[in-house]
């Protein structure tokens, strides 16, 4: 077992992220390095975080092709685009690009399970930073479910255009909300028919660590303010150790050059949710019971190790009428990076 504060090999994220600067064909690298590239046939500029949405879609497509897949997303390859495999090779090590880093599949399945278990008949669902999420099309929803997908207009337009090539329709009422989460997005959600008096299930997958710490807190807090008692939320967070590990530096640098840097991490995920209006917080990690699915090749690292590349899967609820101000002197982003 490695000593506290040091990263032993057994605690590395399985297969890792890219440790070399180049692992894609030259043509693909040119496309990936062009931060204003338009996706062919759509006229839509996909840069920054939108580009990482295509990377994530490519990871879902790879998982779907496995015989032991944790979920079935037959739309993912279409959304990833022709250079989806190149995105995987660019951001991951060679082994992870081919075999699959288990973090993303586990995360996707965990969010699927949260929604299946938490959404009841007539419930509102809100996907914050919905990106190229396809759950409206691939999950079975209870009658009367209304799903609001909140993201930048360009991302939603790209997804609409791509999905128009197939005959499938959403399995619930799906409403897109073009809004920038770095600004005032609440009014746009209300204009789309969101009812703050109704029970809501929120999910923010692969979102908060792309935001500055104060903004990540503001998004979570705004969701609480818009929620009725009985509402639920699921988010994923990263620990601050990720920003201190030398072997993560090439991966983080690639994200920064792509215009979508990881900016926020916290070592107190439960407190982060509590200080921003939520209650009944539960935290798990990939590899732990309920977030393993037979894919995590080693047991979850003990919490006493402070400098590991931790990833948190967090749920919370709301039993009151909404959040009050944080306690005097309390930060809305405890244990945060930066």
Q: What are 149's strand-pairing partners? A: 127, 176
Interhelix angle 84-91/249-257, nearest 10 degrees? 140
Query: What are the Cα distances from residue 82, in Å, to 31, 33, 58?
Result: 11, 16, 10
The pLDDT tens digits of the residues spanning 87-103 come to 888 887 555 545 567 89
Name residues whose C-beta falls within 8 Å of residue 311's C-beta, 6 or more positions apart in sequence.
13, 103, 107, 236, 237, 238, 239, 285, 286
Could you tell me if 233 and 278 are in contact, meaning their C-beta atoms sit under 8 angstroms apart? yes
- Rounded to the nearest integer, the mean pLDDT of the chain is 82
The pLDDT tens digits of the residues spanning 247-272 come to 889 989 998 988 889 999 999 999 99
Rounded to whole angstroms, how far apart are CA atoms 102 and 63?
9
The pLDDT tens digits of the residues spanning 51-66 come to 788 999 999 999 999 9
Instruction: Kindly state the DSSP code that residue 16 receives in the 8-state scheme.
Output: -
The pLDDT tens digits of the residues spanning 114-163 come to 999 999 999 999 999 998 999 999 999 999 999 999 999 999 999 999 99
Homologous superfamily (CATH) of 101-337 is Vaccinia Virus protein VP39 (3.40.50.150)
Name residues whose C-beta falls within 8 Å of residue 3's C-beta, 6 or more positions apart in sequence.
none
């Amino acid at each position: 077992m490695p000593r506290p504060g040091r990263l032993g090999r057994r605690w590395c994220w399985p297969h890792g992220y890219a440790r070399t600067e180049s692992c894609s064909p030259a043509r693909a690298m040119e496309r990936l390095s062009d931060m204003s590239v338009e996706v062919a046939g759509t006229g839509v500029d996909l840069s920054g975080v939108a580009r990482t949405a295509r990377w994530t879609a490519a990871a879902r497509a790879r998982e779907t092709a496995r015989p032991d897949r944790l979920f079935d997303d037959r739309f993912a390859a279409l959304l990833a685009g022709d250079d989806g495999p190149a995105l995987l090779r660019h951001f991951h090590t060679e082994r992870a690009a081919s075999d699959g880093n288990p973090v993303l599949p586990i995360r996707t399945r965990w969010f699927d399970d949260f929604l299946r278990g938490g959404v009841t008949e007539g419930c509102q669902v809100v996907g914050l930073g919905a990106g190229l999420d396809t759950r409206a099309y691939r999950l079975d929803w209870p009658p009367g479910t209304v799903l609001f997908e909140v993201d930048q207009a360009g991302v939603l337009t790209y997804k609409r255009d791509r999905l128009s090539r197939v005959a499938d329709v959403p399995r619930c009422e799906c409403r897109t909300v073009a809004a920038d989460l770095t600004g005032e997005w609440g009014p746009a959600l209300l204009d789309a028919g969101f009812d703050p008096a109704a029970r809501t299930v929120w999910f923010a997958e692969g979102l908060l660590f792309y935001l500055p710490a104060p903004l990540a807190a503001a998004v979570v807090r705004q969701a609480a303010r818009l929620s009725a008692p009985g509402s639920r939320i699921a988010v994923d967070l990263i620990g601050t150790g990720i920003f201190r590990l030398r072997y993560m530096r090439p991966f983080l640098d690639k994200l920064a050059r792509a215009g979508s840097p990881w900016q926020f991490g916290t070592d107190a995920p439960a407190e982060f949710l509590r200080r921003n209006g939520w209650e009944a917080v539960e935290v798990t990690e990939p590899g732990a019971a309920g977030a393993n699915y037979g894919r995590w090749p080693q047991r979850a690292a003990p919490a006493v190790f402070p400098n590991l590349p931790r990833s948190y899967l967090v749920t919370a609820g709301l039993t009151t009428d909404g959040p009050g101000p944080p306690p005097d002197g309390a930060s809305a982003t405890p244990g945060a990076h930066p």
